[in-house]
Structure 1
């Protein structure tokens, strides 16, 4: 069973576990940054904020399976506008990739966004990461635009999918 644990950016243990996840996915770092994760990668993920947002709007969750940290997901509430939950990162350690876990985490993420009265999930996928692009397309995300990706290799493909509250009828 997968669970999400909110990472405390002040907790050395949480930071260390996030760093282990990031280092466990070197292929991702190579594809999007052209280098292996830095020793400070976890702190960089936890501290980075989009324009106009504070840490009160940013949530980084550790994805655990059988008490083991196997991935992470970063969410920003109300970015780039109200009603949108922006997924900054969804990443699994390479040993946990290709097992169908992404859709499960996406369902948990949708529940969080609906709790924020969100109307859509949005993500920016780098064109240097075709495997991730295929995943988001399979999950029903529609391309909105392409733009240069600051500090990353390639272009960012901005994608979105509406959130549908479960019907009570």
Structure 2
């Protein structure tokens, strides 16, 4: 497959909403509920309050005219020289076809082109680990000794484990 990666903007809101709504498995595992209708808007705009809009990266992965993946990250979070990957989601029918790796490679390129980014960092919520951990490990991420309590919206208390990879 030949994919195209582009920065996502508000013009892509409908396509991004469709991608997120069509894959409720991720949302159920991480949040304990189906995706919310405004989830796409959050992916495009949410960032830590201490960071400006220039820190936000939202990439889309396209197969022809269909959005099949999204990745969002923020530069210099939680500290300088770190790019925190908040989401990498691929349409279920595109799993196992190189889409996730292609999207990740585009994030790595963004990190390498960003002044001073040395590390990629992410969290894997324990209730999503079976689906996600193997993917991230194949890409070279290793667990740190850090973990945080994660309380899903359905009240389930779990853990988010931190993983990192040098750029």
TM more than 0.5: yes
For residues 150 and 58 of structure 1, do their structure 2 counterparts lie closer, same or farther at Cα, with a shift above 3 Å needed? farther
Check if 1:139 corresponds to 2:143. no
Q: Deviations over 1:73-106 (max 9, x none)?
A: 0010111111111111000111112223222222
Aligned to 2:84: 86
**C-alpha distance in structure 2 between counterparts of 1:82 and 1:65, whole Å:** 34
**C-alpha distance in structure 1 between counterparts of 2:94 and 2:24, whole Å:** 13
**Aligned 8 A contact 1:7 1:61 in 2:** yes
Structure 1 runs (4+) greater than 3 angstroms displaced? 150-153
Q: Deviations over 1:92-151 (max 9, x none)?
A: 111112223222222221111000031111111111112211111121111111111255
Aligned to 1:99: 97
**C-alpha distance in structure 2 between counterparts of 1:68 and 1:155, whole Å:** 34
Aligned to 2:127: 128
Check if 1:148 corresponds to 2:146. no
How far has the Cα of 1:64 moved from its partner?
0.7
**C-alpha distance in structure 1 between counterparts of 2:152 and 2:47, whole Å:** 14
**C-alpha distance in structure 1 between counterparts of 2:49 and 2:162, whole Å:** 16
**C-alpha distance in structure 1 between counterparts of 2:34 and 2:7, whole Å:** 25
Normalising by structure 1, we get a TM-score of 0.87
**C-alpha distance in structure 1 between counterparts of 2:52 and 2:160, whole Å:** 23
Normalising by structure 2, we get a TM-score of 0.88
**Aligned 8 A contact 2:30 2:152 in 1:** no
Higher mean C-alpha deviation, range 62-71 or range 45-54: 45-54
SS of the residue aligned with 1:156?
strand
The CA RMSD over aligned residues, in Å, is: 1.6
Aligned to 2:59: 61
Unaligned runs of 5+ in 2: none
**C-alpha distance in structure 2 between counterparts of 1:51 and 1:103, whole Å:** 29
Aligned to 1:5: 6
**Aligned 8 A contact 1:127 1:133 in 2:** no
How far has the Cα of 1:31 moved from its partner?
0.6
How far has the Cα of 1:155 moved from its partner?
1.3
